[in-house]
């Protein structure tokens, strides 16, 4: 006769397969953009810090902001240079849209996520609850 594992053993096995909690969303604070207008350009001075706080590739964030703000942009030594005059408020608003789309988990609403490329689809993978959801292409 085969011995069946008891409930406690099965429960321990299931818990060991769940992803470890990476953190909680309560401590997450939206980074504040520090933008200045220089001539006909807008410079985001703390762009590298913002991307690091969001745990995202600065190129991905810049591409999103460039398309959303309809302004050509490039990176220069940790700063983002936009080739037009942009108010800081509109940049901050678009950053909040980016956070909602590409940072926050759709299931548990925590920021403990990473982007993962699977064939031609980019997935938002939550490190807190294990949820996976497709995100739009930029």
132 within 8 A of 73, measured Cβ to Cβ = no
Average pLDDT over residues 27-38: 89
Task: Supply the pLDDT for residue 44.
Answer: 95
pTM here is: 0.77
b/e map 36-72, b = 16+ CB within 10 Å: eeeeeebbbebbeebbeebebebebbbebbbebbebe
Is a pLDDT exceeding 50 seen at residue 45? yes
Task: Supply the pLDDT for residue 26.
Answer: 57
In the DSSP assignment, the letter for residue 56 is: S
Task: Supply the pLDDT for residue 93.
Answer: 95
Task: Supply the pLDDT for residue 25.
Answer: 46
Give the start-to-end residue ranges of the domains of the chain.
31-103, 107-138
Give the gyration radius of the chain's Cα atoms: 20
Spatial separation of the C-alpha atoms in residues 112 and 67, rounded to whole Å: 25
pLDDT digits (tens, 9 = 90+) for 9-22: 888 888 888 776 65
Spatial separation of the C-alpha atoms in residues 72 and 84, rounded to whole Å: 8
Task: Supply the pLDDT for residue 23.
Answer: 54
pLDDT digits (tens, 9 = 90+) for 85-114: 999 999 999 999 999 999 999 988 889 899
Is a pLDDT exceeding 60 seen at residue 128? yes
CATH architecture, range 31-103: 2-Layer Sandwich (3.30)
């Amino acid at each position: 006769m085969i011995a069946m594992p008891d409930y406690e053993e099965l429960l321990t096995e299931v818990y060991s397969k769940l992803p470890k909690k990476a953190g909680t969303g309560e401590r997450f604070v939206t980074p504040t953009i520090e933008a200045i207008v220089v001539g006909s350009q807008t410079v985001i001075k703390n762009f590298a810090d913002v991307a690091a706080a969001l745990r995202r590739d600065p190129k991905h964030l810049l591409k999103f902001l460039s398309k959303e703000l309809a302004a050509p942009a490039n990176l220069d030594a940790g700063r983002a240079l936009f080739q037009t005059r942009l108010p800081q408020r509109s940049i901050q608003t678009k950053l909040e849209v980016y956070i909602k789309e590409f940072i926050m988990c759709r299931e548990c609403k925590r920021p403990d996520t990473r982007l993962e490329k699977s064939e031609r689809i980019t997935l938002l993978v939550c490190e807190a609850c294990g949820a996976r959801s497709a995100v739009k292409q930029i």
